[in-house]
Structure 1
Amino acid sequence: MPSLPARPDFQQLRHQARDLLRAAQGGDAAALARVHAVGTEVGLANAQLAVAREYGFASWARLKAEVDRREILDDVDAAGLADLLAREPRLAVAEMTQWCDHPLGASPLDYVAMLRYDTSRDVWRDVPGAAPLAHVLLAAGAPVDGEPGGPETPLITAASYGDAEVAQVLIQAGADLEATSSPTSGGVPGGTALLHAAVFGMTAVVDVLVKAGARVGDLVIGAAAGDISGWPLGEASPQQRLLALIMAADHERLAVIEALVAAGTPVDGVDEIWGRHPLRLAAANGRPASVQRLLALGADPNQRDADGLTPLDLCRAGRSHHAAGTGHAEVERILEPITAPEPS
């Protein structure tokens, strides 16, 4: 079954139906088989129905409604969404299962929570108007915690994709702060929204969740939140302290970085499980304040990862996936003069 593109064009779908009809009327066996799979008459209505069924929709009208919903959500049109849901209330909750980049399916609220990632360009960007979309969906009956048994709640999705404004709307609507993702989730299986935001470097969402009362369960998450006072560093294992340093670097928690290095955490330590390194991660995610602080504490700008990439290389790679305005340009300016050329 084909999937709709990230931004489906209804005119293109009409052309597909007309092309199918012309081929069937011309005696093409494959086209005739497609049309006859839905009805005996070789006409436009059955050609349209065949195209709709091939995309997984029960009717041509259902396919058009889905395309309309995608366009409205992608255009961040809250007024248009309210009008659509007044005509088609089911679209507030009906899964968007034909979105090619979400094989588990996505509810409209999940889709809104994922808008910061532009699948068509493979770029992260800010979407200031997404929060009003969430308001409209919730008012139309979208469940704030998603359907029971889903892979993750909309709040976890917003945390993973870094939309703090959508996360705030969901929290105000009563979202469960301590809900966890399923074991089969593609994010952090069994993790809360706070853990997802921490692991994926979504600092603004971390701050929103902590302020709302999300539980900070250990030293590593405390480092992401910027407060490790509840965990005596002398009682933490070297691995815990290293993971905390990596997390603090990713979230630009400078005082935490200082405290962990002062406690003996190696500034150039590498996480044994994921291969993460404080300076490389800070560079890859465009964290200039962390990069400067780690360098001042002795981090090596020329330490390469398993693929031979320096922090500068990782910064440049990360910059290509972010819209303008991130810290990658500043990180590149810091690292470029002190990065040695690759050995020949």
Structure 2
Amino acid sequence: MPVYPLPHRPNLANIRKQAKTLLAAWQAGDDQAVTRVRQSHPRGERLERVRLADAQVVVAREYGFASWARLVQHLRLTPQAQALHAIDLLFRADSGEPSTVGQVLDHRVDLLWQAHLDGHPAVAVLLTGSPVTVDDVRAAIAREHGFADWAAVPDRDRPVDPHFEAAVDAIVSGEPDALRALLTTHPELVSARSPFGHHATLVHYVTANGVEWSRQWQSPRNAAEVMRILLHHGGDPDAMCDVYGGSTPLGLLVSSAHPANAGVQAALVEELCRGGANPNGLDEDGIPLWTAITFGYPPAVDALARCGARVDNLVFAAAVGDLPLVTGYLRDRGRITAQRIGIRGPVLAADHMIEYALIYSAGLGRRAVVELLLGSDPDLGVIEPRFHSTAAGAARYHRRHDILALLEHRPTGFS
């Protein structure tokens, strides 16, 4: 079956016209149209009557998509996500052949190198700089799969399970029926791990963070349902994988842009916690809430609080927007003590806790808390330890324009 790249800046209306044109040609008995249907439709040899839906399937498969729905899904992505999805499709095109880590990586080097030579625009998401050499492609493929570099790939003979890869595909594409069928037929998949450097489980893949970049092209709108299926089949909500020094699904989720942008981050937090994930982290140190706060995701912060994450210091109280609790800390300054969140986390000095609370509440859009904290005469030049941002910087980065204006035009009585 021939596969062709999508045109530059593809348009769904034009591609619909291609399907209608194919249908009309088939109905007119055009030999080329008949051949295309036979080659590219799953039931091409048996079709006696072609409908528009059949012509759409043919067009989609000729562009490398399994179905018309997958093609439409791709066209509705952002340009960056389309590029990542295009790389994913490139890697999946012949995924049934290689059976070991080494074979898969070698094959993908060949695919990416040829795509670069062909001028495929999507390769820019993995390849930077000019000129690009084969060694650059090898390094990019190694990093893409969680290895430090090409020479650092261990155990190249380790098998790659096509059923695991198919389950990942169903997760990223948001196809719960396909995922459920795979888990029913192959129940061991739910506890299996990727053979690549991150060693993620299927539950980790739902977070769209820390795994292959080409598997991070979207968080589907039904991601919570996908997560629920995995947990129902025995997925471990607190499993660790080998990214960022060791991460749980919850830690990856609350720092992931894709579920946040898709509006599913809070629902996924709640699914994980209902499934047994500890909202306070494996070490009971508050790392999930701290991570959600520092990455500036209010829905994740609120969901963690609803799920029982401890709010036991001024910064956390400000971040969740708990005005009475913040007021209590300000009235009893003796309760404001230095904090270290996690064994590797920075120490938040007691004499700047009000400023840290202001910075994070500004980034999270907690205007009422910001107004309250400004009454304590904070030093607006203080920077927080995670991303080295001031309160104004956090508000600006997260586009909290009303809070930025409040900070930049603080009334004299607040200074």
Which bracket does the TM-score occupy, shorter chain normalised? 0.5 to 0.7
Distance 1:258-1:159 versus aligned 2 partners, 3 A rule: same
* 1:207 CA drift (Å): 0.6
Alignment partner, residue 271 of structure 2? 169
How far apart, in 2, do the equivalents of 1:10 and 1:54 lie? Answer: 22
1:323 match: none
TM-score normalised to structure 1 length: 0.61
Tell me how many residue pairs correspond in the alignment.
249
Which residue number corresponds to residue 136 of structure 1? Answer: 229
Give the alignment partner of residue 179 of structure 1, picking from 257, 262, 281.
Answer: 281
| Separation in 1, partners of 2:380, 2:241 | 43
Equivalent pair of 2:202/2:230 in contact (CA under 8 Å): yes
204, 224, 228: which one pairs with 1:110?
Answer: 204
By how many angstroms is 1:193 displaced?
1.6
Report the alpha carbon displacement of residue 63 of structure 1 after superposing the two structures with TM.
3.6
Whether 2:239 is the aligned partner of 1:146: answer yes
Q: From the superposition, tell whether residues 132 and 273 of structure 1 become closer, same or farther in structure 2 (CA, over 3 Å).
A: closer
Quote the Cα distance in structure 2 between the aligned partners of 1:14 and 1:55: 20
In structure 2, distance between residues paired with 1:151 and 1:54: 19
Q: Distance between the aligned counterparts of 2:292 and 2:385, measured in 1?
A: 22
Return the alpha-carbon distance in structure 1 between the equivalents of residues 294 and 283 of structure 2.
Answer: 14
TM-score (norm 2): 0.52
Secondary structure in structure 1 of the residue aligned to 2:371: helix
Conserved in 2, the CA contact under 8 Å of 1:249 and 1:282?
A: yes
Note the residue ranges of structure 1 that are not aligned, 5 or more in a row.
Answer: 22-52, 183-189, 300-344
1:143 alignment partner AA:
D
Tell me the alpha carbon deviations over residues 90-109 of structure 1, each in whole angstroms, 9 at most, x when there is no partner: 211211242xxxx4421111
Question: Are residues 1:204 and 2:293 paired?
Answer: no
Specify the alignment match of 1:11 in structure 2: 93
SS at match of 2:392: helix
Q: Does 1:292 align with 2:386?
A: no
User: How far is 1:264 from its partner?
Assistant: 0.6
Identity among equivalent positions (%) equals 23
Match of 1:87 among 177, 185, 191: 185
One-letter identity of the residue aligned with 2:405:
Q
Going from structure 1 to structure 2, the CA distance change for 1:169 and 1:264 (only over 3 Å counts) comes to same
Q: Is the 8 A contact 1:238 1:265 kept in 2?
A: no
Change (3 A) 1:139 1:263: same
Q: 217-226 or 166-175: which moved more?
A: 166-175
Letter paired with 1:275: H
The code of the aligned residue for 1:266 comes to D
Structure holding more helix per residue:
2
User: Within the alignment, does 1:280 sit opposite 2:374 as a pair?
Assistant: no
CA deviations 1:134-175 (Å, max 9, x no partner) are 111011111232269993332232222252111111122232
Q: Hey, what does 1:244 align to over in structure 2?
A: 357
Query: Judging changes above 3 Å, is the alpha-carbon distance between structure 1 residues 147 and 117 closer, same or farther for their aligned structure 2 residues?
Result: closer
Contact 1:151 1:181 in 2 (8 A): no
In 1, Cα distance between equivalents of 2:241 and 2:210:
25
Alpha-carbon distance change, 121 to 273 in structure 1, aligned in 2, over 3 angstroms: closer
**Structure 2 gap ranges (5+):** 1-86, 108-152, 337-349
What amino acid does structure 2 have at the position aligned with 1:248? S
SS of equivalent to 1:9: helix
Q: Structure 1 residues 270 and 234, CA, compared in 2 at 3 Å: closer, same or farther?
A: farther
1:341 is matched with: none
Residue 252 of structure 1 deviates from its aligned partner by 0.6
- Find the aligned partners of 1:156 and 1:77 in 2 and give their Cα distance: 24
Does the CA-based 8 Å contact 1:261-1:267 persist in structure 2?
no
Q: CA deviation at 1:8?
A: 6.3
Q: Structure 1 residues 57 and 181 mapped into 2: Cα distance closer, same or farther (>3 Å)?
A: farther
CA deviation after TM superposition for structure 1 residue 273, in Å:
7.4
Q: Structure 2 CA distance, aligned partners of 1:203 and 1:78?
A: 27
